[in-house]
Chain A
Amino acid sequence: MHNARPQSTRLSTIIWLILLALTIATFSIGEAGMSGKNTMLMLLAITMIKSQMVANYLMALRQTKMIWRIIMLAYFVIVGGLIALAYLMGLS
């Protein structure tokens, strides 16, 4: 079960650096004490990008059947969506 087209290590490195940068962005938002609906949506958007990068590039699901990527994306859409919904409920 070895990959026919192995992912280049350079791509992995780029993904890793992007993930680090996005983490720092999350940290900065938290450190600045930002809150509110837009901040929440921004944080969830960052988290979605990060989680899908992990799934597609680090877990290497990009090279597998579409269904697995859909599952990982759907997972985040459902969980993240419910988190957003609950947040909005908390605002009112």
Chain B
Amino acid sequence: MKYQSQAVAKLYFIAAIGLFLGQILFGLIMGLQYVVGDFLFPAIPFNVARMVHTNLLIVWLLFGFMGASYFLIPEESETELFSPKLAIITFWVFLAAGAITVLGYLLVPYASLAKWTGNDLLNTMGREFLEQPLPTKVGIVLVALSWLFNITMTMLKGRKTAISLVLTLGMLGLAVFFLFSFYNPVNLVKDKFYWWWVVHLWVEGVWELILGAMLAFVLIKVTGVDREVVEKWLYVIITMTLVTGIIGTGHHYYWIGTPAYWQWWGSVFSALEPIPFFMMTVFAFNMVNKRRREHPNKAAVLWALGTSVMAFLGAGVWGFLHTLAPVNYYAHGTQLTAAHGHLAFYGAYALVVLTMISYAMPIIRGRAANPERAQIMEMWSFWLMTVSIFFITLFLTGAGIVQIWLQRISATPMSFMAVQDQIAIFYWAREAAGLVFLIGLLLYITSFFVKGESRAFE
């Protein structure tokens, strides 16, 4: 570790992994509820499990992004973090707020939670992924601002690189677009229209900048390829990402009461969104093939390559499957969407955070790489999680296709719940794959505690 203040990342990483475990547990609960409807009812109803599952995902990724940037920015800027103390305070505030919010979801009926937290003052709750009570939303803004402030100040007093610039830009976008979660017009079309400005412009816009910057950082470190080459790739990729991703928002505007031209704009531009992801894959493999050093942290290289491939498959290929307006007409809001969501979030964002953790954690703990045995265990966990999420995706894709057929295309369409019975076999298979994922995650966590002879710094 070059700078002492980089150590604050460790707190964030631990929290991220802990919340990741929570997310998976709730995923398994609701996965079972798909087929055993009253499992854990009334303690944890399906809607609550789903809310916790998705909210934990967002929060652990945010913890991961923050931790990763507190590690990355000092190293890129070649200076200590502006205020490690602020980073630590922010961490505890965010963790406490997150914990209280999840407890609120679990222990209090949602309507009461809304009443107690001032939803009457400013009505923002009750919308998918943006279920957080008002104080939590305000807290997220404050945490994001504190994070942005700390990172920007660090960058200003040190070296400014393309990677830190892109990362900061991504974080700025993250903070700015979250503000639309406070805007909740009565008109349902407008509500959805701006809701996507948070949801879509996060994951298919500004988060991709964060993803690109982190991947580029790790690749420079583990391959030793010239920064100039990596940065040029980064610029090309993020420009393509922004052009296709921002106008590609239109692929959510097909059937919600927005003007018809979105069907063309959305189809054409979102159909091109896989291109930057494909470029990212080519980029990652190209860099690793051209490597000038053999980094002792083999696991980090695996995670990085995995990110580029799974992001392309999950975000690119599975997104493209149902992005064209005529296809989406039938596929809209089916299990096909869930399939895409799982592989894209895992492939692009879960993996990039795990890549950063894999690279940074050994260094924070005072070694270039983990012991051989720990790395092997980590790589096993990579394969278990990656293969099982891929199977989850395949099962959900199967479920989605059958659902689309029975419910929307067939000459004698069936009702939603009747179709759910027909695709139960896919849900069981998905649940089994989910258990394998959990094993992979537990193995991953175990790998941190494996002792052995570790490689010191060269």
- Are chains A and B touching in the complex at the 8 Å CB cutoff? no
Binding site for B on A (CB under 8 A): none
